[in-house]
Chains A and B, each alone.
Chain A
Amino acid sequence: MAVIPKFVGERIKRREDPRLITGTGMYVDDVRLPGMLSAVVLRSPHAHAKINSIDLSKARALKGVVCVLSGDDLRDKVGPVPCVAPADHVPYHPVLAQGKVRFVGEGVAVAVASSPYIAQDALDLIDVDYDPLDAVVDPEKALEPGAPVLHEEFGNNSVTFASVPNPAVDEAMRKADKIIKARLVNQRLAPIPMEPRGAVARWDGGYKQLTVWSSTQIPHLLRSQLAEMLKVGENRIRVIAPEVGGGFGCKLNVYAEEALVAHLSMTLGKPVKWIERRRENFAGTTHGRDQITYLEVAALKDGTVTAVKAHFVCDMGAYLQLLTPAIPGFSGLMMTGCYKIPALSFDQQMVFTNKMSTDAYRGAGRPEACYIAERVMDMVAAEFGLDPADVRRKNFIPKEAFPAPTAGGLVYDSGDYELSLNKALEIVGYQKVRAEQEAARKQGRYIGIGIASYVEICGIGPSALLPPKLKGGGWESATIRMEPDCKVTVLTGVSPHGQGQETTFAQIVADELGIDIDDVNVVHGDTAVVQYGIGTFGSRGTTVGGPALMMSVGKLQEKMKKIASTMMEVPPDQLIFTNRTVALASDPSKSIPLQQVVDAAYGYKQPIPGVEPGLDATSFYEPQNCTFPFGTHVAVVEVDPETGVVKFLRYVAVDDCGRILSPLLVEGQVHGGIAQGIAQALYEEVVYDESGQLLTATLMDYAVPKAHMLPRYELSATVTPSPVNVLGVKGVGEAGTIGSTPCVVSAVMDALKPFGIRHIDMPLKPEKVWRAIRDAQQKG
């Protein structure tokens, strides 16, 4: 019999991919049910307007139209769109606007018809009489007296003001050689998953059973929230997240349309489908970032940073989605980055504006924090004429300090920041590139070297870190079932949508049980099949879902060892699983086939004392801490001073995500992450005009980078296992996004150093760079 190899650590291709690339996966839009109706939502063209009246009569009269509803028809029938994060002002957020619209794209009415074409025709027949109001899109202007108020009941546009004071900061400021001040902007971004959102609902009245297929990252949490919105028992709702074509955080949410299709199906008695169009996705799916930070940094001449103080203005948009006001907190807490900055204080003013809500977007608060920390290091280096690498070394938390408490009140699990910096600089050939830069400058060429050392929070986490109103905690669940034929089913509470846990978890289970990877089937995303789970976000799939799976694997192993021990007459603790056998650890040739153990458990013809029949185990794992992946990215760019165009010469990324289970998947995550981070640095920006019109509503205007706009990545890694979990993993879903943004900005600013330019706000579009150079030349 062939020897079954080990899988963990091997470059295994994603087991999900064959079905995805051959078109045999099933997405929400592939759900086709008999009698299914199509719903299309009419959206507000105004950023802020009073609704005087809505005339639905013509739309309702159209042949093929089943139902047309506006917000008033749903009063008291469908509960509001939930926000579980705490805030002083949580506005009522109806599934369709009632009386007023507050952003372009807000749902105003829904038409249900036998086809989406007819439903769309019906929308064209709806006459809404709006009374346009002044809109406010700039969060700082929204705070000014006299600004248009979005939610009159609050009297102003403040969502919440949160403050984390620290008297030590003022002390450090007094003693500083220099206080560096800056205003940094993390612009608004659109997550743009390849598959927009969508939902199908089917109400089986006879069974009192509601099934909702949704493109979501959180099937169980969605079920809990839908139960509340629809007043239906959770035991009567089944949420299925089929193939989900990317989420990036924007599907870590509960949206109006999910409840809307469920309500429509329940009232019409027929399945109802709603599929988001790309323009709706731009206007009506959560955005990310949109924070302004006013910084004060206390620094000493040797480059030591002694305190950071920040005032944030965070744009929440018009309403609060599931976690909207919770996101900026991470930016504040993580602002000290990899550095032993002793004093930190910050406050955050969160603001309503006439825009789509912001919420989690790949990195969710940490990219902003890392951007701030890394800009600080560069500004300190520029201020005192120090090498930016040296300034980082000077301030790094040393590797002996772990577990390291931070000024933000967190405890970093493990790290060796200098190792990753040194490795990245070695790969890029730092001294040589600096010499080349110097030579190029003499020829009038502007080369820049950017460095970013990042640390972020993953594997969220201890349940106390999550909002009190959230139905679930920070734990995760896993069930493992050895089927009678010796094949294994894994039911995981995480909901991968591109992360590849069907592969990673199969690798783990195959190795632990000594079986082939093909013997393992990983099932997720169906609340009727999988025990309650929290879902996939915050790079938690493997860091929290993985240990949960390990707990269940352990329980299963224990049981199988007990059974095998009675059959082999050796103590259970001397047994191992290898090559589809249960074998004696000291002499694996002494073994019995795994199938015999399984037969004994299922057949149970000879009762085993103290062992129940069957072979499955379920676990819920509550992490004791988060994990803190880190790394250093180095970019070399050249700026064309005549056009402001930034060209990549090199891109080196050294990431440390702890133990690497699946190298190919880790690289894939890093690649995609870097692309998204570079996009923030150079290309992407959601633009609303002054009146609140969304000007980046198509892919013709919102610049998602194409391959030719990205560098060739030179990837490397250091491995610092996390002590937090049994797998030693730290998570890698967001790391690339977090490190790359400040790295690229750092490189561009380094290139522009001869012009005396220290900072330009992102995205560093050619025009901004060109204008900065021109202005600097005119001043000079």
Chain B
Amino acid sequence: MKLSGEQVLSAPRERVWDLFNNPERLSKLIPGCEKLDVLGPDEYGGTINVGVASVKGIYSGKLKLEDKRAPEHYKMVVDGKGKQGFMRGSGTLDLEAKDRNLTVVKYNGDVQIGGPLVQVGQRVIDSAAKMMLGQFFAAADAELKAEAAGTVARQGIFINFWRWLVRLLSGK
């Protein structure tokens, strides 16, 4: 199955890059993922509990990042399996700064899905993959926005604190 497309995320490229390289934060964005364990440099392991409608399953696997060129490119190699099927494949992720606060994420992957899952669900498997990809990017965008908002908020607190301090010190 070929998966390619692009998605615009509301954050500067460096911040997107940071997010996509942080297993702890990344794990929260992957649908059904509870935790990513660091197995080695740029190599993670984990379990996801995902599905569509009544078809749900637990898959465990590995995720490896290769050909890293910060902050614009890496290749992701995935290998996972569960009782209902397996997934193997790789894809590239390219980040382009659209403007100061927008990043275009271009993805291009080829995954092989096998086992009962695809033998029974061939007609919806592409859509299911696209849906999960959509969920991932939506979560990523929300996370980036929250991060930005958090920073702004922290800045706000800081400015207020500064003003308060200035007032206090100036005795006004």
Choice from B83, B85, B119 contacting A695 with Cβ under 8 Å = B119
Q: Which chain A residues (81-97) contact chain B, with CB distance < 8 Å?
A: none
Question: Which residues of B are found within 8 Å of A132, using beta-carbon distances?
Answer: 88
Chain B nearest CB: distance from A44 CB in Å?
9
A124 contacts the other chain (Cβ, under 8 Å)? yes
Question: Which residues of A are found within 8 Å of B86, using beta-carbon distances?
Answer: 45-46
* Contact of A693 with B118 at beta-carbon distance under 8 Å, contacts A45-B85, A124-B83, A132-B88 already known: yes
Chief secondary structure at chain A's binding surface: loop
Chain A nearest CB: distance from B117 CB in Å?
9
1/0 contact string of A35-62 vs chain B (CB within 8 Å): 0000000000111000000000000000
Choice from B83, B85, B119, B123 contacting A279 with Cβ under 8 Å = B119
B134 contacts the other chain (Cβ, under 8 Å)? no
User: What's the Cα separation between A104 and B117 when bound, in Å?
Assistant: 13
**B interface residues, how many (CB within 8 angstroms):** 14
Total A-B residue contacts, Cβ distance less than 8 Å:
36
Q: Which chain B residues (82-100) contact chain A, with CB distance < 8 Å?
A: 83, 85-86, 88
Choice from A47, A104, A124, A697 contacting B120 with Cβ under 8 Å = A697
Choice from B85, B88, B123 contacting A701 with Cβ under 8 Å = B123
* Inter-subunit contact B114/A46 (CB<8 Å): yes
User: What's the Cα separation between A700 and B123 when bound, in Å?
Assistant: 10
* Inter-subunit contact B119/A694 (CB<8 Å): yes
B155 contacts the other chain (Cβ, under 8 Å)? no
Q: Which residue of chain A lies nearest to B123 when distances are taken between CB atoms in the complex?
A: A701
Question: Which residues of A are found within 8 Å of B120, using beta-carbon distances?
Answer: 279, 697-698, 700
Choice from A45, A700, A701 contacting B116 with Cβ under 8 Å = A45
Q: Which chain B residues (9-68) contact chain A, with CB distance < 8 Å?
A: none
Question: Which residues of B are found within 8 Å of A489, using beta-carbon distances?
Answer: none
Q: Which chain A residues (254-296) contact chain B, with CB distance < 8 Å?
A: 279, 283
* Contact of A698 with B114 at beta-carbon distance under 8 Å, contacts A124-B83, A132-B88 already known: no
A160 contacts the other chain (Cβ, under 8 Å)? no
B115 contacts the other chain (Cβ, under 8 Å)? yes
Chain B nearest CB: distance from A630 CB in Å?
40
Q: Which chain B residues (106-135) contact chain A, with CB distance < 8 Å?
A: 112-116, 118-120, 122-123
Question: Which residues of B are found within 8 Å of A689, using beta-carbon distances?
Answer: 118
* Contact of A691 with B114 at beta-carbon distance under 8 Å, contacts A45-B86, A132-B88 already known: yes
Question: Which residues of A are found within 8 Å of B116, using beta-carbon distances?
Answer: 45, 279
Return 16 A-B CB contacts under 8 Å, by A number: A45-B115, A46-B86, A47-B114, A104-B114, A279-B116, A279-B120, A693-B112, A693-B115, A694-B119, A695-B118, A695-B122, A697-B119, A698-B119, A700-B120, A701-B122, A701-B123
Where the two chains meet, the residues of A that have a C-beta atom closer than 8 Å to any C-beta of B are 45-47, 104, 124, 132, 279, 283, 689, 691, 693-695, 697-698, 700-701
A-B pairs, top 9 by smallest CB distance, nearest first, are A45-B115, A697-B119, A695-B122, A691-B112, A693-B114, A45-B114, A693-B118, A694-B119, A698-B120
11 additional A-B residue pairs with CB within 8 Å, beyond A45-B115, A689-B118, A698-B119:
A45-B86, A45-B114, A47-B114, A279-B120, A693-B112, A693-B113, A693-B118, A693-B119, A697-B120, A700-B120, A701-B122
